[in-house]
Amino acid sequence: DGCMESIKLPANLMNQGVMLVSDLDGTYVGNDAATNRLQRVWKAKIAWRNSALVYNTGRTLRSFLRLQDEKDVETPVALIASVGTEVYWFDRNGQPKRDETWETTLNADGWDTETVTEVIHGVVNRASKEGRPVHVRPSEDQRPHRLSLGVGLSAIDWLVETSKRALLERNIRAKWIVSGHGDWRYVDIVSTAGGKLQAIRHVRARLNEGSSSAFTAGNTVVAGDSGNDIDMMEGDERAVIVGNAQDDLIQWHEKHLSSGETGRVHRAIARHADAIIEGLEVFGFL
């Protein structure tokens, strides 16, 4: 498996750095053998080309560090955590440092954590009085710019409408991110300036500051499997939908195809991390 084989591929992309931005659960992790295959390909053929590995996940930093202990997961340049509401940079020793400039950006459109929490808890209390299936998720998932709820399928529309109105009464706008499958969904309420795509743009701009890397949407590849990855696939970046993707992402892709845009988003046949290798090949980076 010598590196010489790469010479016959399009030279312009073969030598370019790649900013790979991957969701974790169901994408980068989920099949250990596939994760190991991707990490071998990454180290042998891509990392040395001034590339950057970034994870973009619903997990918190603490949850990611637990995952790193359990699985042999490569340390990224940056971790976008809590559905695009926190960014951490990793130093050479693998120690994370919080990006405070990102936090400042998120206080847009009136976002105030205390008020948002108070309003959303009021909506959840109302839901339980009315017998609607809505609950606040464990405290670890509640972050300064993200409130996380578990919501039964039948209550999602009610919850989004009711909480939107209640926040607007306090002059706060927010974003609602729905993901998961089955009868219960995750609903994350985040700052309008947050979300997975905005966080990618922030990380890319920081990577491009005073360094030899020149990452653009064209050499950024995002990969995911669920509804909370839709946000990061709606930009101009190349995107890979894994073969084991959930229905909400597949439905988004079918709608997206009907808009006439083809080629930017690749729906892989391979599953989990193998789909990322497939996507990198299809886009000409491997």
| Token reading at 203 | 């990380």
Which comes out higher in pLDDT, residue 205 or 15? 205
Q: How confident is the model at residue 213 (pLDDT cuts 50, 70, 90)?
A: low
The pTM of the whole model exceeds 0.85: yes
* DSSP bridge pairs for 187: 149, 178
- Map residue 178 onto helix, strand or coil: strand
CB atoms within 10 A of CB 125: 12
| Position 103, amino acid | E
Predicted confidence (pLDDT) per residue in 219-277, tens digit: 999 999 998 999 999 999 999 999 999 999 999 999 887 777 778 999 999 999 999 99
CB of 142 within 8 A of CB of 114? no
Q: Tell how strand 184-191 and strand 146-152 pair up.
A: antiparallel
Which comes out higher in pLDDT, residue 137 or 4? 137
| Token reading at 144 | 């300064």
Angstrom distance (rounded) from CA 68 to CA 172? 36
Predicted confidence (pLDDT) per residue in 28-56, tens digit: 999 999 999 999 999 999 999 999 999 99
Predicted confidence (pLDDT) per residue in 86-101, tens digit: 999 999 999 999 999 9
* DSSP bridge pairs for 80: 56, 87
The contacts of residue 186 (CB under 8 Å, 6+ apart) are 58, 137, 148, 149, 150, 151, 177, 178, 179, 180, 228
DSSP structure string for 7-73 = GGS-HHHHTS--EEEE-TBTTTBS-HHHHHHHHHHIIIIIGGGT-EEEEE-SS-HHHHHHHHHHS-P
Angstrom distance (rounded) from CA 53 to CA 78? 7
Q: How confident is the model at residue 107 (pLDDT cuts 50, 70, 90)?
A: confident
| pLDDT of 7 higher than 50 | no
